[in-house]
Every structure is written in C-alpha cells, then in structure tokens.
Amino acid sequence: MAEINKVQRHGELCMIIEKLNNEYYVLNNSSVSDYEYDRLMAELKEIEEEFPLLVSPDSPTQKVGGQASALFQKVQHAVQMGSLQDVFSTEELYEFDKRVKKLVDSPEYVVEPKVDGLSVSLLYQNGKFVRGATRGDGFVGEDITQNLREIPTVHKILKSENIPVIEVRGEVFMSHESFKKLTEHQIENNEQPAKNPRNAAAGTLRQKDSSIVKSRGLDIFVFNIQQLEGHKVNSHIESLEFMKKLGFKVIDGYKHCKNIEEVIEVIEHIGKTRADFPFDIDGAVVKVNAFSQQEELGATSKFPKWAAAFKYPPEEKTTKLLKIEVNVGRTGSLTPLAVFEPVLLSGSVVSRATLHNQDRISQLDIRPGDVITVRKAGDIIPEVVNVISHAENSTPFLLPTSCPACETRAVRCEDEAVTRCPNINCPAQLLRSIEHFASRSAMNIEGLGEAIVELLVSNALVKTVADLYRLTKEELLGLANFKDKSTENLLTAIENSKQRPLEKVIYALGIRGIGERNATLLAEKFGTIDAIMNAELEDLTKIEKFGGILAVNVFNAMREPHMVSLIGELKELGLSMSYTKKQTSNVFEGLKFVITGTLPTLSREKAKELIIENGGSCASAVSKKTSYLLAGEAAGSNLKKANDLKIPVLTEEEFLRRVAGVAN
C-alpha cells in the first residue's frame, strides 16, 4: 500500500511541478515561493531514487522547466544552459563535498550570492554584442536581443575587441527601487501591479515593445563563460576577473574558498546580510573552482555535478497577534486578516497577513492575543506560519455567520474553502458586481468601465445593478467629465443591453460557478427566468454536464431574498427574460473548440458566439476531447498541447470559411 501511495504521489508531483514550471518560465507569475517549489522537486527526486522505474525523459527531474515562447524567434544554445542542484542544509553541503571528493582531489570552491531573476546568454563576436537569448528549456531559448540592448549594463561593445567569440551567462533582475517605481506607476494607471521583482523582470524582457524595457530599470549580473575563443582561463575565479576586465558587470561578494567549511561560513554570512542587498537573492551558488576538475566531474542530463545552489528558508520572526479582521472581497469572499505588532521581514516592516479562510484559522488554531511566527512567502507575501502560545482565556476564532457589510447570511459551498456573501448588491462587492454585470461577456454595456462605475457609486447614483437602468441624462451631466455625447453614448449602451438574451442575463447575475456555458445550459433547459427560479433541486441536477454543486448554487441563489428582489426589478425594467435559441447551422454539431491567442479580427466573445450558433461548444483548455484549436497571435501552452495531441489547429481565416460552409 505504501508503494502504491508513493507511485500516486509521484504522478501528482509531476503534474504540480509541470504546472508551476509553466507559471514560472512562461507566464512569469508563480503561485508558490521558490522554497516551496524546491521542496516539491526534492520530494519527487526522493521518490524516483527509491523507485528508479518511475524516471522517464518527461519527468520534471530530467529537464529544465521552461520552454521557448512563441512570441520570439527560437535560439539553439551552443552550450546547454542547465539548472543547478538544490541543497537546503549544511548536511547536504557536506554530502555535496563528499561526492565531489570521490572524483577529484582537494577541490576548492567559489561562493556567489544567487540573484533571483531571469537567466540569459549574451553572445559577442569580435567584441560586439550580436545576440541575447533566454534559457528556455536549456537547449532552445528565445531571441530577445533587441530587449537586452535596452539594459544599460548589457554593453554593446567590450573593452577588448581581440576576443573572436565569447558567450556569457547572466541573470537579468530588477532592483527593489526599480520595482517600487514600476508598481507605483502600475497602480496609478489602474494596472495590475507585478507580484515581485523576478516576475516583473521576466515579464519586461518578453515585451514586444523594447521601449518598455528601457523604461523599467532592468540590470544584469554575469556569472559564467559559456564559450570562449582567443583567450584561455583555467578557473571560475579567473573567469570572473576576466569578465570584469572586459566590462561585464559581475556581482560583488563572491569568495574563493579552500574547503567546504569556508564555503559554509560564506553562505551563513550571505544569509545573515541578505536583507541588505538592493535586489532579491534566493540563495548562494557553490562551484568547484578549477575548470579541469569541473570537466572531470561532468554533468547529469540536467545538473552540473560541480555546482550546487543553497536555498535559504524564508526569514521568520515572532510577534503578537492583535486582532483578526474580516474583510469582504469583491467576489463576496469573507477573508480573515491577521493584524499583528509590526516586525521587520526581508527588508520591510509588515503588520498584516491574510489567513485565507476558516480551514486555515482552524488548522493554526490562531486566536487574538496569541504569540505567532510570521514570514514572507517567497520573500514577498507575509504569512502566519504557526502559533507559539495562546493568550490566556482565549477561545477558538470563528468567521461570522453573516456578512459584516450587509448582514446577509454567509454561505460556504461544498467544493470551496471560502465563505461568501451571496448578496450581489452587498456594498462591499458592489463595484465588482457592476463591472461584471456590464462586461462584454455579460450585458455588454460599452463605456461602463471601472472609473465610471466608481464615479456612479461614489455619487450614490447606483446602489444595485438595477439602478443602471434608472440613470437619467440630467444625473450624468452633473458628474465630472460627462458631456452630452458621452452621456448619450452610455445611456444608449444601457438601453441596448436590455436586448441581450436570457443566457447573458443569467451570467451577468454572478451566481457562483455559473459561467457563460452553464448560463446557456440553464436558459436552454428552462426557457424563462421564472422557470429557473421555480425549479426544484432535482430538476437542476438533471441538466446534462451540470454538476450537483452548481445545481445547489443556483437553487440557493434563486431563493436568496436580495437575488429574488433584483430579478423582479430587472424584469420590470424590460430586460429579456425568455430564451430564444439562435443556431444558424449545425456545421459544428458535436465539436468542441478551444480558443487561444489574439485573433486578427474576431474577439474571443464573437468567436465563441459563432461556434455556439453553429452547434459547437467551447472549453478553456485543450484535452483529448478537443476537436479543434482556434489559434491567433501569441498562442500559449494550449497550442503546444494541441500539437502534442495532434489536434487540428485552425487560423481565423480557416475557421470563418467553415462557418460559411466552405470546408477547404
């Protein structure tokens, strides 16, 4: 039984790590800290060491995590850009030293701070910068030469032109100061701020517009020579000094160590001072110094045997929990927030951390007045690690049973850990519900963006989505920046939205878990909003492809007083509450489509409408059941998966020809 469980865990870990690799290397938006990722990878390696038959070429342990993006030309690396073996303790460092000494005598090492950024290669010919590329999967990367030229510390010409060829490897990063400026600018312009400097740097380097790169203050440290002609260096320490002479920027703080004890001392020093660095570091790199010994040691398919990356655990501090606040999010989620005495963590003062949900609160058994341990996950997001001691006479903390903002009874779905307020008109989530209601996929009220919604709500003109249909020209003209033309345009868009079909109205109501496809299923099954409101739970569960949890969500929503009242108002205001099936042909009957990338002329919404009108259906991700992938510019991982599964890929032109009934 234990063996079966480990085999199952191996499969789970492979899927989790592949997903995280895609987030980190392709989407530049990791959902976990590097430390958590490395622990998952270490667990996978342990299982594969115990069960070698589980190792395959597709295992995450056998390949570098990334892949070349479709946005840029591909580059075949002359020398593989591998990753490093991770170690987490002094015991593992001693083990690394022991393995090295089995193959070479008296090794010396070099230790360097490990910058948290995006790994790139820079190729110079006769002293001139000719090409730069990302690591990708280690063998094939992306040509990002033009973007790298916009980084001031990527020199276009070296101090010596007598080097026929040199290719170096470095890490592009964003300093704390540049990251702060970027996020401030993004917030000012109502953009989603970057999560951390590493994501910001990686995302910037993949911009199509190189002027954006120039404005964001990226920097680089060079740390390896990949290939070299016209000069010879014999050790890593010598290569670092040589690169500095050529003008490359090399990180300060590297040390030449005679033995593993000195290595450990340097690593501990870097760990103690890491908060003083003006940029993020996620560890320290240890390399055998002599190149001749590096050659003797060799490499695995993924790691050089002569190097290791020591990963520091997140810094932790103790403090006192003052209170637990409960905030209502824009989607109605009741989110508990720990408010504690301020502590200095990873270079900044923090005093708050999310507790996520009731399950997390119960797991920690956290109570106001407790002494707690806190840290920054991934050195960015504050989190509570554990409770050291409870306050005297304290009792377990429970989330309120009613919404703190509107007092509607809170609900928790069986498939979720989150407790929510179901009231679409709750003041705490009003802005978000109006934005969703007016969105293109819902009521398609053009011109009703976030800024206008905030203006309407702050001036008390809109308290529910129904109030949108009661707005007058006089009221709008009384607001800042509203002129005759903009007022008429908005009122016309609101009036036109009354003609949106029933399935769009259902989707606009924001019922938990009811997306566009499920809204259409409800409309097709029952025909009118009244029939849906009167449907019994058993009737809802009989809808094909409609799960029991969704049925419960709809059943409860249609009996929630605020929802009943809102639907009644929308009916009186003239919105469409009956379903009219619109199908122009059955050319896509039984076919399932996935849409990816940016299409030349069609919006995704319009492409979906055409598919459904012609008898087809849409899904968000490619699977073996996908009939066609409709792909536009900058197609992502869905395109690769479709090619792997040999699923036909259509361009917009080919798609429209099929809609018109022309097969070829």
Residue (of 408, 402, 473, 468) closest to 433 by Cα position = 468
At which residue do the structure tokens 């990949």 appear?
A: 226
DSSP-assigned letters across all residues of 436-494: HHHSTTTT--TT--HHHHHHHHHTTS-SSGGGGGG--HHHHHTSTT--HHHHHHHHHHH
- Cα 332 to Cα 551: distance, rounded to the nearest angstrom: 19
DSSP-assigned letters across all residues of 183-199: HHHHHHTTPPPPSSHHH
Bridge partners, residue 629, by sequence: 594, 649
Bridge partners, residue 321, by sequence: 340
- Cα 386 to Cα 395: distance, rounded to the nearest angstrom: 17
Taking the C-alpha atoms of 365, 366, 367 and 372 in order, what is their torsion angle to the nearest 10 degrees?
A: 140
Q: Which two tokens stand for residue 243?
A: 């690169």
- Cα 648 to Cα 34: distance, rounded to the nearest angstrom: 36
Residue (of 255, 279, 276) closest to 178 by Cα position = 279
- Cα 520 to Cα 546: distance, rounded to the nearest angstrom: 11
Tell me if 647 sits within 8 A of 635, measured CB to CB. no
- Cα 377 to Cα 383: distance, rounded to the nearest angstrom: 6
Q: Kindly list the strands in the beta sheet with 649-650, ordered across the sheet, starting from the edge strand earlier in the chain.
A: 617-619, 592-596, 628-631, 649-650
Bridge partners, residue 134, by sequence: 120
- Cα 377 to Cα 357: distance, rounded to the nearest angstrom: 17
What is the gyration radius of the CA atoms in the chain, in angstroms?
29
Query: Do β-strands 118-125 and 128-134 pair in parallel, antiparallel, or remain unpaired?
Result: antiparallel
- Cα 519 to Cα 543: distance, rounded to the nearest angstrom: 11
- Cα 414 to Cα 531: distance, rounded to the nearest angstrom: 25
- Cα 562 to Cα 406: distance, rounded to the nearest angstrom: 11
Catalytic residues: 114
- Cα 522 to Cα 547: distance, rounded to the nearest angstrom: 12
SS3 letters across 86-147: EECCHHHHHHHHHHHHHHCCCCCEEEEEEECCEEEEEEEECCEEEEEEECCCCCEEEECHHH
Q: Which two tokens stand for residue 438?
A: 């007016």
Query: Do β-strands 628-631 and 649-650 pair in parallel, antiparallel, or remain unpaired?
Result: parallel
Tell me if 364 sits within 8 A of 303, measured CB to CB. no
Q: Report which residue type is found at 336.
A: P
Q: Which residues contact 44 (CB under 8 A, 6 or more apart)?
A: 10, 13, 14, 17, 59, 60, 61
Region of 304 (left: φ > 0; alpha: ψ -120 to 50; beta: rest) is beta
Q: Which two tokens stand for residue 85?
A: 């073996």
Give just the sign of the alpha carbon dihedral 100, 101, 102, 103: positive
Tell me if 185 sits within 8 A of 212, measured CB to CB. no
